[in-house]
């Protein structure tokens, strides 16, 4: 009888807590996350790099906070500067010019400026893979390769500008 009561309590607790739990849905190589609370909309799609799944470094994320979209690459510690150097290449092409991305306060992620995010997204929609290189404060280049299977569907789940890839 105690086991039945415990199972009932766990089930009831799950129903009470469920609305605040993060939704996580696999979409190809990506995961869709919904961390929205009330009116505050916070959703994202993320994939991990091939090289570093154990360290937790090397994530590629398109995120929406309200109507604002962000393209974020998480990395190992990059430093405390305001910006970091980033370059990228799709499907084995040569790397483009080095760009200056905004460094998050944690020093563990960079955010693409809007015009770069738009071009990157447009290119991602027609690609199978992308390699992103981020240069840290000691001028070491961290390289991450991301598979992009399901990127079209994943971006289509986002309510912000990334869904079309045109912005």
How many structural domains comprise the chain?
Answer: 1
Residue 137 placed within a domain: yes
Residue 102 placed within a domain: yes
- The pLDDT assigned to 146 comes to 96
* Chain segment 28-73, per-residue pLDDT in tens: 999 999 988 877 778 999 999 986 555 556 999 999 987 789 999 9
Judge contact between 121 and 162, C-beta under 8 A: yes
Residue 15 placed within a domain: no
Residue 110 placed within a domain: yes
- The pLDDT assigned to 61 comes to 97
Residue 12 placed within a domain: no
* Average pLDDT score, the chain: 83
Q: What is the pTM of this model?
A: 0.80
Domain coverage including residue 137: 21-163
Residue 96 placed within a domain: yes
- Phi and psi for 146 in degrees, rounded to 5? -120, 130
- The pLDDT assigned to 80 comes to 92
For tokens 């404060």, what's the residue? Answer: 137
Residue 11 placed within a domain: no
Judge contact between 100 and 121, C-beta under 8 A: no
Residue 2 placed within a domain: no
The CATH number of residue 106's host domain is 2.60.40.1880
Does residue 164 register a pLDDT over 80?
Answer: no
The mean-pLDDT minimum among 18-22, 105-109, 142-146 falls in 18-22
């Amino acid at each position: 009888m105690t086991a039945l009561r415990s199972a009932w309590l766990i089930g009831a607790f799950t129903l009470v807590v469920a609305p605040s739990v993060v939704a996580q849905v696999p979409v190809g190589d990506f995961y869709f996350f919904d961390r929205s609370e009330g009116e505050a909309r916070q959703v994202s799609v993320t994939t991990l790099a091939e090289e570093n799944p154990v360290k937790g470094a090397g994530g590629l994320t398109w995120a929406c906070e309200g109507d604002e979209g962000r393209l974020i690459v998480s990395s190992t510690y990059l430093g405390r500067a305001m910006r970091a150097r980033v370059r990228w290449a799709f499907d084995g092409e040569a790397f483009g010019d080095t760009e200056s991305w905004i460094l998050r306060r944690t020093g563990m992620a960079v955010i693409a400026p809007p015009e770069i995010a738009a071009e990157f997204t447009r290119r991602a929609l027609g690609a199978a893979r992308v390699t992103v290189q981020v240069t840290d404060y000691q001028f070491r280049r961290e390289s991450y390769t991301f598979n992009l299977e399901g990127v079209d569907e994943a971006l289509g789940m986002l309510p912000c500008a990334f869904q079309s890839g045109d912005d």
